[in-house]
Amino acid sequence: MSRFWSKTVKNLTPYVPGEQPKLSQLIKLNTNESPYGPSPKALAAIASANTDGLRLYPDPNSDSLKQAIAKVHGLKSDQVFVGNGSDEVLAHAFLGLLKHEEPILFPDITYSFYPVYCNLYDISFKNIPLDEDFAINTKDYIRKNGGIIFPNPNAPTGRALPLSDIKALLESNTESVVVIDEAYVDYGTESAATLVNQFPNLLVTHTLSKSYALAGLRVGYAVGHPDLIEALERVKNSFNSYPIDKLAMAGAVAAIEDQEYLHSISKAVIQTRETLVKDLSQLGFETIPSQANFVFTKHPSKDAAAIATALREKHIIVRHFKMARIDQYLRITIGTDEQCASLVNALKEIV
């Protein structure tokens, strides 16, 4: 059937999501999902919204959700955009804000969806190498560009930039949009959302899939100057004018409003992460400093792919990337204390 494909499809190399194996008694540490359930208030709100009203379309503007997000960040509703997970929000940003004559810039080791969007929308790009410690140096981005995007903390490394570095970048780069992808910001990083009123070219994206423990709900958002948000709305309304369904909206609003629960489970993940890093160090692993809900680690004398295979045989799944510079690293999601203890015990036998 490939003879019916468009030229665009033929030239695409799609993003490959983390494996979702259908195995029982599995310790799944490969897709950075939360080890804890969503806010009970979010679950109750979803149940309450499960009524005959589902026969009607949802609010196309998602006003209640935008208001909840704006309140948390101290912004106005017209500074908020929402979509089906931050991946969709990012896709709209690539098309609506990053498609220009000059190439956009992003790290050589980062979220692998970025080059996919570029190929899909025919956007030229240039990779900026991370330094030898796998850190982003914002000074490397001070050059002519059609836009800049990177996660903070970065993925899959977990390293984060201080807010001062992002502010310095914005002060130097004023003629193109800077997108800061903050999927993992709640695990110890200061959000750049506090800067959107100072810099009209800053867009900050968030997801409810990680720290809010709602990966199955598919809700993400962006905050920025109303002009940037309007560009995203124009793309959205030319693509899918009803992106957030009623159940997702109800659950997302309740989750956003329950900041106490968010902070409690984020704190638990941070504590488990610190313990895991210490345990890995005792086994000889070298781990990049992480401010995400995962660690990026390698063993100096054991092949990463072999370790991943051995763990799989013990029903523990981690993520291995077959990419230059990082093919000897494993990305390990922070699970519960019990899951991480099982991981460490398995690694003791393997290494």
- Burial class of residue 247 (count of CB atoms within 10 Å of its CB; 0-12, 13-18, 19+): middle
State the Cα–Cα distance between residues 153 and 79, nearest whole angstrom.
Answer: 23
What's the distance, CA 34 to chain centroid? 13
Q: Which amino acid is at 122?
A: D
Provide the pLDDT for residue 9.
85
Write out the H or E segment, with its range, that includes residue 319.
Answer: strand 319-320
pTM equals 0.95
**DSSP 8-class letter at 225:** -
Provide the pLDDT for residue 4.
84
What's the distance, CA 247 to chain centroid? 22
Please name each of the domains of the chain with its CATH number.
17-37+260-350 (3.90.1150.10), 40-257 (3.40.640.10)
In tens digits, what is the pLDDT along the chain, a chain of 351 residues? 588 888 888 888 887 776 777 666 799 999 999 999 999 999 999 999 999 999 999 999 999 999 999 999 999 999 999 999 999 999 999 999 999 999 999 999 999 999 999 999 999 999 999 999 999 999 999 999 999 999 999 999 999 999 999 999 999 999 999 999 999 999 999 999 999 999 999 999 999 999 999 999 999 999 999 999 999 999 999 999 999 999 999 999 999 999 999 999 999 999 999 999 999 999 999 999 999 999 999 999 999 999 999 999 999 999 999 999 999 999 999 999 999 999 999 999 999
69, two tokens: 């997000």
Nearest to 129 by CA among 146, 144, 150: 150
